[in-house]
Amino acid sequence: MTDERVEHPVTGLDETVHQRVRLGILTIAHEARRVEFGYLRDHLGLTAGNLSKHLSVLEAAGLVGIEKGYEGKRARTWITLTAAGSRALAEEIERLKQLISRVESTGNV
């Protein structure tokens, strides 16, 4: 008998991605391709400061790109998902599907 360890899907969850707000940011950015800061703030129910902190974490990890500019005379900030962010989101979703499958297979849910 071998002592081969099989990793539980929960061990593969990415702490940077899995946090509720950051998962929301990545998901919305994936859906929208390019999303404005105010849209994220309003739809995730965050303060500007709180959103900025989460975006800084995601940007430092290379998961989002942040572009500042103007729309008319108003300063705007747009967020886009990077290729690494797209991969990280897909991997997180796959792990979550594995967890759901395990829970549903027990028949107790």
Residue-wise pLDDT for 6-22, tens only, equals 778 788 888 999 899 99
CA distances from 12 to 8, 25, 67, 98, 101 (A): 8, 20, 30, 10, 15
Which residue in 107, 108, 103, 106 sits closest to 9, CA to CA?
A: 103
- The whole-model pTM stands at 0.86
pLDDT category, 76, cuts 50, 70, 90?
very high
Pick the CATH number of 12-99 from 3.30.200.20, 3.40.50.300, 1.20.58.220, 1.10.10.10: 1.10.10.10
Report how far residue 9's alpha carbon sits from residue 37's, in angstroms, rounded to the nearest whole number.
32
What pLDDT score was predicted for residue 89? 97
How much is the mean pLDDT over the chain? 92
Tell me the sheet residues that pair with 109. Answer: none
Is the pLDDT assigned to residue 66 strictly greater than 60? Answer: yes
